[in-house]
Amino acid sequence: MKVLMFGWEFPPFNSGGLGTACHGLTKGLTSHGVDVTFVLPKAPEDAHADHVKLLVANNLKFVKNLKIKEVNSLITEYITSDVYDDKFFKYVNHIKGKHGTLYGEDLHHEVYRFSEIAKLLSKEEDFDVIHAHDWMTYQAGMNAKKETGKPLVVHMHATEFDRTGGHNVNEYVYSIEKQGMEEADKVLAVSAFTKSKIIEHYGINPDKIEVVHNAVEFTEKPPIEKITSNDKVVLFLGRITIQKGPDWFLYAARRVLDKMDNVKFIIAGQGDMEPMIIEKAAELGMADKVLFTGFLRGKEIDKAYAMADLYVMPSVSEPFGITPLESMRNGTPTLISKQSGVSEVLTHCLKADFWNVDDMASKMLSVLQYDALHETLQENGSHEVSKFDWKIPAKKCMEAYLKVVSG
């Protein structure tokens, strides 16, 4: 089985969980003998991966009889139209006069450009099925299907309703998501939570949707480093956006500090809400208790988990959520939002509604104050997460491929 896969990020060229999921899933697929060609919009010219064939859309040397100059895309998987516009207008003045206008005038044009490149490379590559991850690759997947007649599988990692918290849904993004799922031969959802949203908001036939839960890769545990011998550490790690609930994390943190003073709260990540969250921490009188690390990657992520006494994922709407698995992999007790797909499959962690700040704070305090609870969550969580192998979701993807290829 040969798969042409479109995605917007792939480690180490990633800024969030989608790249992590793509890396793990492709490793699982190749372990089952699947041949994967993974297409990225941008990466260094010498970019490569050990287990997949990595193609970069801004380096089309693989397309015959085509001359093209390298164009570095401004977009990443988690960019919004507003953020793209800001980047474009700041950067376009730098390249005008020297190269001319090289970029689409907005995020829509960038997605279109990538989809046009997909037409070219789909004619050059040998594959049995197309697999497209999230909305910005759906058009590329649809174009590849039209050019080749090969079946299309689209993977929904997060809907527009998740990213916006259900507020100010972008109609353009919504329309692409809907069209992509309608034209696909099979839709993969990362949880039953996500499947229900697809059915409710997009009207997709439930029989067309397969639930494929994510997993986690296992790495060597880093040495534990504490901030001080007296401080307890509570970690938030993720994009600082409305979807991830960083504001709810702060409100719960304030209640914890009202009861227990020797606690530090670490916020690791970047996002559009970061300035507001920094101001909110000061407003709540806890600026000296909240530490901002910026974006972490690689071994830095595992070090952050290892130094924490508790990891909290307070997401407002989380289709799955790989970070709790990463936390438990590092032996860190974990508290997650009930509004998450991963809550469907995890038992040995604490759960709370993201909006129930008092409940969240109470559970934080319990883990920080009672060693027996901390040790139980640590031991049982480590054992539970060891069963989350990427070979399992990879096998479910293979079954979906076989269904669409056989018709």
User: What is the value of pTM for the model shown?
Assistant: 0.86
Cα separation of 294 and 271, whole Å?
9
Residue 42: pLDDT band (50, 70, 90) is confident
Provide the 3-class DSSP secondary structure of residue 39. strand
Tell me the C-alpha distance between 337 and 312, whole Å. 8
Mean pLDDT of 186-202: 98
Residue 82 has pLDDT above 70, yes or no: no
Predicted confidence at residue 309, as pLDDT, reads 97
Residue 199 predicted with pLDDT over 90: yes
Whether omega before 11 lies within 30 degrees of 0, making that bond cis, reads no
What structural domains and CATH numbers belong to the chain?
2-215+390-406 (3.40.50.2000), 232-385 (3.40.50.2000)
What is the distance between the alpha carbons of residues 20 and 78, in angstroms, rounded to a whole number? 14
- The torsion region of residue 284 among left (phi > 0), alpha (psi -120 to 50) and beta comes to alpha
Residue in 277, 283, 386 with CA at minimum distance from that of residue 331: 386
Residue 69 has pLDDT above 50, yes or no: no
